[in-house]
Chains A and B, each alone.
Chain A
Amino acid sequence: MDYYEYLVALAAVNGLIAISYQHVLSSGIMQACQAALVGVGAYASAFATRDWDWPFLPSLLLAAAVTVALGVPLSVLASRLGEFFFAIATLGFAQVLVVVLYNSEQAGGAVGFVGQPTATTAPAALTFCGAALALLAVLQNSGYGHRSRGTAADPLACSALGIDVNRHRVVVFALGSALAGLAGGLYAHLVGVLVPGELGFAATVTLLVMVVLGGITTPFGTLLGAVVITLLPEVLSASDSVRLLIYAVVVLVLMIVRPRGLVGRRPLRAPAIEAVPAAASAVDRPAGRLEVSGIAKAFGGLQVLRDVGVVLTPGEIHGVIGPNGAGKTTFLNIVSGLETPDAGTVVLDGVPATTAPPHARARLGIARTFQHTRLFPELTCYENLLVAAAAPGRSGPVRTPWASRRDAARRAVAMLHRFGLAAVGDVPAAALPYGVQRRVEIARALVTRPRFLLLDEPSAGIPEEEIPALAALVRELADDGIGILMIEHNIPLVRQLCDSLSVINDGIVVTTGNVEECLSHPATVAAYLGVPEVSGA
């Protein structure tokens, strides 16, 4: 293999490694051991061809398998540790691996592992890199890709949409590990000598530079970054340290000029599909009941909820009011599964759901919005809805990926039309006025086809003149058969919309039932105005 062919192969292998890392990072998994995973694959396949006389290709499969077997248990830690600690834990894993290899005689120790055939040709490296790129490019625009972008931006909002964030991350990690292992096998049979130091922190940092410099949002950008970083030191002819100095300056300048990377992902545009009549958005499930009773919750010594319950039926709008700090949002969090109550039950159609995680509840048909909207800020309005459409819904017919992709797009577009958002479909969510963001969030929740919708102060932050439109919309949803639980401070809106009302104060329901009766109830007045209760009341 001549020098130029070697360079092409090296760039392709580095490209494959870098896109495997981009795949993991862009899903919001802050992992710092990609180089170590590559190393595991490299050593595994090199052992296979040198010591056990395996042919080259099976050794690559072995590399991928071993790396996945190591990577998956590691990824389970991610949910336990949170971003930063997971990064550090994986850093530690990489370092342990380096130490073990340094001290292993079979692996060649510090001198390195030699003797495996140089079987990786430039065409082979290019083929694997191209295939991986094609796979990741397809995945990027699929439901899987939407789930990844969603989990990276806001895992909590994703779980409320029905996405099992931890499971998705394990799958992403497994694919990232498999590609890393494969790349490791190619690398081992390209360079001829494997040194443990190449698995460590410094190597992962170089990969990080490739990913961020090229563009973390798309594998195409990352690949470009990998090619630049691989070839840059080669084209500079100077002493090692001068070369590295120039390299550093180039990286610095490129970073400043293009802080978001050389190439960015192009957002998916909303396709021009005719507005679909109500059938697509209406509830397609039989009637049921959401019964919540006896909920108690304390945070440390603070008893927020003592005994709160509510029954919600399809088509009903039930309001929840109460002074600030009454425990309304905590109650909503418990109903949607974001928090676990100390006592009490949540029962859906007679089936207990008290301990079901948020994503499971979303799949049962409970959707919610947040007091402070939790849209995915950098995704467009349309893409925000696509994340919801990509959440595994309740049972449905098995469809081809293409059919379900078309269906997701159709559902998202239908919802854009229904909410009057078609004109802003391609605008990033963060760039929209707050009132519009609120509408997008309700639309996103509805894409999951909920039976019950929990709204946390839908009118907060919305300009006065937009409130009638919001009210009409909520009414329409209820008329479609959705049961709505609505926390609200705007009493005229409550009067206008709600079929029934609960007043919460000090962790208990002080009165519930007819809206007007509740509003004029002495306990309600006392809760808001602090009027001392008449003795014996």
Chain B
Amino acid sequence: MDVFFQALWGGTVVGVTYAVLALGFTLIFGVLGVLQFSHPQIFVAGGFVGYAVQTLVGGGLPVVLPATMIACAAIGLLVERVAIRPLKQSSFLAPAIATIAAGIAIQNIVIVVRGPDPVSFPPLVPPADLQVGGVTLRSAEICALVVGVLVMAGLHLLIHSTRFGQAIRATADRPDVARSFGIDTRLVSVTTMALASALAGVAAVLLASVYGTLSPFMDTSLGFKGLVIMVVAGLASVSGSMLCGVALGVLETLLSQYVSPAYRDVFVWALLLVVLVARPTGIFGRRVVTKV
């Protein structure tokens, strides 16, 4: 039983970081209407910014986390300005392709600066273990869980209980109507982009400190997971993304523990397919009725 609970714990922690990453995807897709393919590379860049800040300046989580968020927000704004804004009007695929290119650029800047090899990520909180029953909770994991949950709760409050959140939801729903009510949708878009990119930075710092390692090639598998979480949760459902992120983390860990680490992904995808066929609008998505 201890093995099960250990896996459950580890999966939850990792799942929370997935959820934070996926939330960024979801927010950008919801508000800007763009598949931001360079989001995972912003995650990678964020991880390396965090690594650089900690090794060069130090200060642990209270310094590294805000610094990373600011850096990622800045990268996100640049991507919005260069790859998304000029192309938003032309077609659905054009900005997506441009963000793919931006992602390749970001990743290779990281590689040019730091090299292609994985680095070991320094601990951001003093290493310590807490034993609960037979389960070991590492301080990095506890910290990731707490920070991740706080960030998500804060985001939930921001979106559902503030005027700005109302503007975000209005813009996501009907940008033209939102504009006619005096909402500066461009400002909302830009702010959302900065916010969502900062979330990628949070996810990067948390996940890297849990794993204790960081590679410039983490982008592909994480990008995948973010995309899958977004879709399974129902496009543009924020609370759904949170739950699905955690569910995916737990599921992955339990499958590698009990079934087969090699075929873990096959099961995750089989499950995904079952969900999609059974609920074609995602688990938490609203049913879209096409009127004719």
A 90-102 to B, binary, CB cutoff 8 A, 1 in contact else 0? 0111011001101
Residue pair B292, A96 in contact (C-beta under 8 Å): no
Residues of B near A370 (CB, < 8 A) are 292
Residue pair A89, B265 in contact (C-beta under 8 Å): no
| Residue B1 interfacial (CB < 8 Å) | no
Smallest CB separation, A298 vs chain B (Å): 14
Residue pair B105, A245 in contact (C-beta under 8 Å): yes
| Residue A81 interfacial (CB < 8 Å) | yes
| Residue B37 interfacial (CB < 8 Å) | yes
Residues of B near A202 (CB, < 8 A) are 220
Interface 9-mer from A56-64, A205-213, A442-450, A494-502: A205-213
| Known contacts A96-B265, A248-B102; is-contact A84 B231 (Cβ 8 Å) | yes
Residue pair B98, A255 in contact (C-beta under 8 Å): yes
If over half of A's interface residues share one DSSP class (helix, strand or loop), that class is named, otherwise mixed; here it is: helix
| Residue A256 interfacial (CB < 8 Å) | yes
List CB contacts (< 8 Å) of A88-123 with chain B: 88-89, 91-93, 95-96, 99-100, 102-103
Residue pair A85, B231 in contact (C-beta under 8 Å): yes
Residues of B near A242 (CB, < 8 A) are 108, 112
B 118-135 to A, binary, CB cutoff 8 A, 1 in contact else 0? 000000000000000000
| Residue A144 interfacial (CB < 8 Å) | no
Residue pair A252, B102 in contact (C-beta under 8 Å): yes
List CB contacts (< 8 Å) of B57-87 with chain A: 82-83, 86-87
| Residue A55 interfacial (CB < 8 Å) | no
Of A82, A88, A212, A245, which one neighbours B97 at CB under 8 angstroms? A212
If over half of B's interface residues share one DSSP class (helix, strand or loop), that class is named, otherwise mixed; here it is: helix
**Docked CA distance A524–B272 (Å):** 53
Residue pair A252, B90 in contact (C-beta under 8 Å): no
Interface 9-mer from B17-25, B160-168, B246-254, B273-281: B273-281
Residue pair B97, A92 in contact (C-beta under 8 Å): no
Residues of B near A99 (CB, < 8 A) are 262-263, 265-266
Of A91, A201, A259, A374, which one neighbours B94 at CB under 8 angstroms? A259
Q: How many residues of A contact B (CB 8 A)?
A: 47
Of A77, A95, A329, which one neighbours B265 at CB under 8 angstroms? A95
Residue pair B91, A260 in contact (C-beta under 8 Å): yes
Residue pair A245, B263 in contact (C-beta under 8 Å): no
Residue of B nearest to A100 (CB): B266
| Known contacts A103-B263, A248-B108, A371-B292; is-contact A85 B280 (Cβ 8 Å) | yes
Residues of A near B276 (CB, < 8 A) are 81, 85, 88-89
| Residue B100 interfacial (CB < 8 Å) | yes
Smallest CB separation, A57 vs chain B (Å): 34
Of A84, A95, A374, which one neighbours B269 at CB under 8 angstroms? A95
**Docked CA distance A370–B292 (Å):** 7
List CB contacts (< 8 Å) of A155-180 with chain B: 156
Q: Which of B97, B235, B276 is the most central at the interface, judged by chain A CB atoms within 10 Å of its CB?
A: B97
Residues of A near B177 (CB, < 8 A) are none
Q: How many residues of B contact A (CB 8 A)?
A: 46
Smallest CB separation, B246 vs chain A (Å): 19
| Residue A338 interfacial (CB < 8 Å) | yes
**Docked CA distance A100–B227 (Å):** 22
Residue of B nearest to A244 (CB): B108
| Residue A249 interfacial (CB < 8 Å) | yes
| Residue B104 interfacial (CB < 8 Å) | yes
Residues of A near B5 (CB, < 8 A) are none
| Residue B101 interfacial (CB < 8 Å) | yes
Smallest CB separation, A456 vs chain B (Å): 8
**Docked CA distance A201–B228 (Å):** 13
Q: Which of A100, A103, A252 is the most central at the interface, judged by chain B CB atoms within 10 Å of its CB?
A: A252
Residue pair B265, A252 in contact (C-beta under 8 Å): no
| Known contacts A100-B266, A259-B90; is-contact A205 B37 (Cβ 8 Å) | yes
Closest 8 CB pairs of A and B: A259-B90, A92-B269, A248-B105, A248-B104, A251-B101, A241-B111, A252-B101, A241-B108
The 22 sampled A-B contact pairs (Cβ below 8 Å) are A80-B277, A84-B235, A88-B276, A91-B227, A92-B273, A93-B269, A95-B265, A99-B262, A99-B265, A102-B262, A200-B220, A201-B224, A212-B94, A212-B96, A247-B104, A248-B101, A248-B105, A248-B108, A251-B100, A255-B94, A259-B87, A260-B90
Q: Which residues of B contact A (CB under 8 A)?
A: 37, 82-83, 86-87, 90-91, 93-94, 96-98, 100-105, 107-109, 111-112, 116, 220, 223-224, 227-228, 231-232, 235, 262-263, 265-266, 269-270, 272-273, 276-277, 280, 282, 290, 292
Q: Which residues of A contact B (CB under 8 A)?
A: 77, 80-82, 84-85, 88-89, 91-93, 95-96, 99-100, 102-103, 156, 200-202, 205, 208-209, 212-213, 216, 241-242, 244-245, 247-249, 251-252, 255-256, 259-260, 329, 333, 338, 370-372, 374
Instruction: Supply 17 further A-B pairs (C-beta < 8 A) apart from A92-B269, A244-B108, A260-B90.
Output: A89-B276, A96-B269, A96-B270, A99-B262, A201-B223, A202-B220, A205-B100, A208-B100, A241-B108, A245-B112, A251-B98, A256-B87, A256-B98, A259-B86, A260-B91, A329-B292, A372-B292
